[in-house]
């Protein structure tokens, strides 16, 4: 990445600044933006909260905020809510993280170190504080450019690659106070993702002393963008995409969406004598949703008439991190993780038997 690229976007190549996690768009037609939080809690529950200024595929729409709150209870029961918020009740500060959606929902941060996430949707309420354990990071400039003139942008900032979570979640009147490990990132762009992205795998997790963020993006023009960050004891030890290879293994056709899904996704990072093998091994599905299902009826109908059949799949399973040194396996760590497949494109036709 050339220094001119950082200057073009007003970025410091060595440090992420607080303003970068503030609003980067004005919510007008021709842009979208969202702030994302997830947590793996010590009581076994898992939480995902997303503050969106519009649907991620609807960049050309006017401001039309959506709030998503998902909770998987320790017994596996799923609570999923996506609700619309009036545009007049949305605000997002530009110099810091402070996003508001009506009187009950707020996502705010202090100096990329501590965040408070409060959200209510349906019968679910969450109130968590996230304190960073790994410094804010971005893949180079964090700006991914597409199109013949590179006029289309998809931008990504993992503001908290890993942090300590404390707080509570309430589902159907039953409140649970707990702690855990969390993550926060921030995305924005200027074109509907289905126009530039065919599919992506994305996952994050921790195992032993390691924290990992890993993604592999395939564009509609078959361009491939690998993204990888590995930290040990809170210090980043690897993030050069040129040192990364990606594999899909045990691929099958999902029975609901028809999308090809890898039972195992593997990222191998080689840096001199050190080789790290990071594997996400699917054990169960947490979500298998058509992307249009949360749209208003008219938009949902229009999307189907155009043939759009994008899908979102989320998985739970085992994250394994192996460290090889000089060709010898020296360490292995494993823990539970959640990852996703976002699939905007059409699944490839099946060959006849």
What is the reported pLDDT for 299? Answer: 52
**10-residue stretch averages of pLDDT, the chain, 353 residues long:** 81 96 94 96 96 86 94 92 95 97 97 98 96 97 91 96 98 96 96 93 96 97 95 96 98 96 98 98 91 54 57 94 97 95 85 40
Give me the CATH topology for the region 1-191.
Answer: AttH-like fold (2.40.370)
What are the pLDDT digits (tens) for 263-310? 999 999 999 999 999 999 999 998 888 886 555 544 544 445 445 689
What is the reported pLDDT for 328? Answer: 97
Q: Are 300 and 309 in contact, with CB atoms under 8 Å apart?
A: no
Q: Is the pTM of this model over 0.85?
A: yes
* Chain region(s) in the chain for CATH 2.40.370.10: 1-191, 196-353
Q: State which CATH number among 2.40.370.10, 3.20.20.480, 3.40.50.80, 2.40.50.100 fits the domain covering 196-353.
A: 2.40.370.10
């Amino acid at each position: 990445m050339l220094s001119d690229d950082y200057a073009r976007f007003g970025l410091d190549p060595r440090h992420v600044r607080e303003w970068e996690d503030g609003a980067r768009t004005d919510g007008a037609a021709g842009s979208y933006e969202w702030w994302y939080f997830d947590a793996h809690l010590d009581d076994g529950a898992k939480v995902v909260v997303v503050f969106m200024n519009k649907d991620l595929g609807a960049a050309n729409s006017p401001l039309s905020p959506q709030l998503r709150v998902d909770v998987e209870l320790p017994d596996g029961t799923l609570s999923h809510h996506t609700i619309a918020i009036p545009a007049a009740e949305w605000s997002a500060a530009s110099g810091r993280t402070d996003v508001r959606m009506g009187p009950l929902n707020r996502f705010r941060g202090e100096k990329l170190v501590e965040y408070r996430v409060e959200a209510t949707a349906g019968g679910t309420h969450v109130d968590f504080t996230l304190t960073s354990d790994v410094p804010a990071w971005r893949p180079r400039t964090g700006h991914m450019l597409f199109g013949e003139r590179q006029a289309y942008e998809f931008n990504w900032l993992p503001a908290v690659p890993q942090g300590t979570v404390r707080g509570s979640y309430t589902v159907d009147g039953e409140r649970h106070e707990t702690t855990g490990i969390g993550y926060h990132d921030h995305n924005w762009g200027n074109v509907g993702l289905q126009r530039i992205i065919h599919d992506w795998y994305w996952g994050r997790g921790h195992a032993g002393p390691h924290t990992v963020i890993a993604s592999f993006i395939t564009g509609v023009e078959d361009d491939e963008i690998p993204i990888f960050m590995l930290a040990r004891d809170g210090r980043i030890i690897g993030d050069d995409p040129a040192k990364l290879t990606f594999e899909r293994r045990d691929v099958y056709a999902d029975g609901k969406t028809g999308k090809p899904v890898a039972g195992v996704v593997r990222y191998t990072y080689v840096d001199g004598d050190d080789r790290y093998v990071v594997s996400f091994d699917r054990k169960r599905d947490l979500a298998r949703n058509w992307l249009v299902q949360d749209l208003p009826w008219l938009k949902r109908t229009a999307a189907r008439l155009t043939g759009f059949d994008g899908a979102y799949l989320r998985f739970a399973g085992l994250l394994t991190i192996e460290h090889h040194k000089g060709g010898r396996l020296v360490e292995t760590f494993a823990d539970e993780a959640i990852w996703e497949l976002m699939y905007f494109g059409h699944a490839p036709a099946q060959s006849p038997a």
